[in-house]
Structures are given as structure tokens and as C-alpha cells.
Amino acid sequence: MAKIRGIMGLTKRNMLVYLNNKGSIFFSMLTPIIILILYILFLKNSFLYSLENAASDLGNLVSSKDMDQFVNGLMLAGIISSALITIPYNALQTIVRDREERVYYDMMATPVKRAEIILSYFIAAVVTAFLQTLVVLAGGLIVLFANGDLYITALDIIRLIGVIFLGTVSATALFTLIMMFFKKMGTCSAFMGIISAVSGFVVGAYLPLSEFNKTIQNVCNLVPATGVTILIRNYLIGGVLQHMDESIGGLDNGAFAEAMRSVFTFNSKVGSSVWTLNQTCIYIIMVTVALVAAIRIIYPRVYNKV
């Protein structure tokens, strides 16, 4: 019981430090906000144009409302996916701040173990990022539902929540490992700049991944965050895509839907192999386990070299 209270106390402290820092919360949402603004300014029109072009030979079989919802869903998938990168990163900056200001001396002089200190940072980041992203998902779904039908099932929503959890854990594992190498907040903030810039592309929020050359596509597909985005995209707008396909009634033998799935990357492709959603999911879990194992090996060195 005492051990659990110790971990809970540390976790609560880490969560409070992040949640009481409004600046940190704002910066964690900066990339998703930028995606939203770019979407409103021009991305929506650009994506809609591609869709309308592809559907131009099908007459009025694909409704503009469905296309609008499909593109809105793409935007929400991009926002959620980038949030799943930037929120855990910001929440985990406490590790570096505590190191720089020697706050963790206070933890190390208590009966909590070194592994429990890292575990508490990890849990705090997962819980805050998971809850914060769920708020983004809920807000996004409310807006989309108000705009029209999304053809999303309760099972899809449960799967979305599951994927968000998986995405949070995988990003937190990656960033916990990275944070161990940072000693100064300045380095941490500079890296955040790179992450913010790159994340929008990795998750295909600014441009579909299919627009990049094969090498970049392969590299991106090996990044767990890209897999998470693909899963979110499938569960969030797979329904509306299927509805559009049904509206066409088989006249194109499913070519329109297949083209959309290919252009907007509904499946991971590494080399010539196309992964199923289950394979993508298993890959993300495997990478996450490997990252946790790496943290396990590295943290004692970090915490004994003070």
C-alpha cells in the first residue's frame, strides 16, 4: 500500500505540475491549433478539390455533404494524431525541468525507487495526454456530428478510444526515452520546435503521405505515430468512405473508395508489403515494448550519474 501511495503521490505531483502550467498546455496544443487554422484557410479546399476531381466521373452519386464530412474527418484525424505527439512531449518536459532544477533530488532522498520515479512520469504523461486527447476527440466529434452524418458506429468510437490510448502510450514511451538524454530545458524546447514542425507531416495532416517519395513514405510508415494516424483515419472516416462507396452502388467496382484509401493512406505500406490494421496495431505495440525495455536499461545510468 505504501509503495502504491508513493507512486500515486509522484504521479499526482507530475500531473499537477503540468496541468497548473497553462503555457505548457497551450504549447502542447499549438500544432493541432495550427493544423486547424491551416485547414480552415486552405487545406480543406485543397483536399475537397482532390475528392471532387476523383468523383467527377461519377455524376452526383457521391454527395458533396459526404465529401465535406470525409475531409472534416481527415482534419480531425490529423489534429488528434498531432496532439498524440505534442501533448505527451509537453507533459514529459517535467523530467528535464526536474533534472535541471535538481527537484528530483527530493524524490531520490525518499523511499520511492528510481524505477518508480520514471514510472510516475510515464503514468502521469499517459493519463494527462490520454484525457486531453479524449477532450479533443469529443469536441471534434460534436462539431462533425453537428455538421452531418459521419456513419460512425459505437464500436468505431470504442476503437478510436483504444487507438488514442495506444498512441499515447507509444508516444510517451518514445519521448520518455528521449527526455533522458536532455539535461537542459533549452535543448528540450528546441527539440519541441522540430517535433512541432515535423509531426504535421508525419501524420499526413498537411499533405497525404502518398504525395511523398517512396523512401520518405517507408520511413514515415515505420514511425508508430503514422500507424496510429492510419488507425484513427480508418475508424473515424472509414464509415463515411464506405457510405460513399455504397452510394456509387458498385458502378466503379469500388475504384473511387480504393483510390481514396490509397491517396489518403488507409493502410501502412513498407516496401511492397501492405499491412492490415491488425498488423499495424501489433507493430506499434512491439515498438512500444522495445522502447519501454530501452527505458528500463537506460534510466539507472541517468539517475546514478547526478
Partner 1 sequence: MKKAIEVRNLKKQYGETKAVKDISFDVEQGQLFAFLGENGAGKSTTINMLSTILPKTSGNARIMGYELGKEDDSIRKSIGIVFQNSVLDGNLSVKQNLLTRGAYYGYSQKEIMESLNSFWEEFNLEEIWNKKYDKLSGGQRRRVDISRALIHKPDILFLDEPTTGLDPMSRKMVWDYINHLRKKDNLTIFLTTHYMEETAEADNVVIMDKGSIIAEGTPAELKSRYTGKKLIWYTRECEENTRIIENLTSPRFSYEADHYNILMDEGIMEFVWKYRDFIKDFEVIKGTMDDVFLTLTGKEMVECNG
- Least distance between partner 1 and beta carbon 172 (Å): 20
Tell the smallest beta-carbon distance from residue 18 to partner 1 (Å).
10
Q: Find, among 304, 301, 295, 289, the residue nearest to 120 by Cα.
A: 295
Instruction: Decide: residue 17, CB within 10 A, 0-12 exposed, 13-18 middle, 19+ buried.
Output: middle
The per-type count for the chain, helices as H runs and strands as E runs, is: 13, 2
Using CB under 8 A, pick the residue from 67, 85, 107, 119 that binds partner 1. Answer: 107
Query: Do the Cβ atoms of 128 and 22 come closer than 8 Å?
Result: no
Cell of 59: 455524376
Q: Does 208 bind partner 1 (CB under 8 A)?
A: no
Dihedral of alpha carbons 113, 118, 124, 126, sign? negative
Shortest CB 27 distance to partner 1, Å: 15
The one-character DSSP state at 55 is: T
**Residues sharing a CB contact under 8 Å with residue 63, sequence separation 6 or more, in sequence order:** 244, 247
Does residue 42 bind partner 1 (CB under 8 A)? no
Q: Check binding of 8 to partner 1 (CB under 8 A).
A: yes
Q: Would you tell me the crossing angle of helices 224-248 and 255-263 to the nearest 10 degrees?
A: 160
112 binds partner 1 (CB under 8 A): yes
Considering only 26, 42, 49, 105, the residue that binds partner 1 (CB under 8 A) is: 105
Residue 184 beta carbon to partner 1: minimum distance, rounded to whole angstroms: 16
Q: Would you count residue 1 as binding partner 1 (CB under 8 A)?
A: yes
Distances (CA, A) of 264 to 116, 150, 220, 252, 284: 41, 17, 14, 19, 20
Is 242 near partner 1 (CB under 8 A)? no
* 3 touches partner 1 (CB under 8 A): yes
Which positions from 244 to 283 touch partner 1 by CB under 8 A, shown as an x/- string? ----------------------------------------
- Judged by beta carbon, residue 3 or residue 65, the one nearer partner 1 is 3
Q: Does 194 bind partner 1 (CB under 8 A)?
A: no
Of 123, 116, 94, nearest in space to 108 by CA: 116
Q: Does residue 183 bind partner 1 (CB under 8 A)? A: no
Which range in 26-34, 65-73, 109-117, 206-214 contacts partner 1 by CB under 8 A?
A: 109-117
Judged by beta carbon, residue 10 or residue 137, the one nearer partner 1 is 10
Grid cell listed for 299: 534510466
Reference 160, options 82, 77, 221, 78; nearest CA is 77
For residue 273, which phi and psi values (nearest 5 degrees)? Answer: -90, 135
- Which stretch, 12-20, 68-76, 256-264, 284-292, contacts partner 1 (CB under 8 A)? 12-20
Residues engaged in binding partner 1 (CB under 8 A): 1-3, 5-6, 8-10, 12-13, 16-17, 20-21, 101-103, 105-112, 304, 306
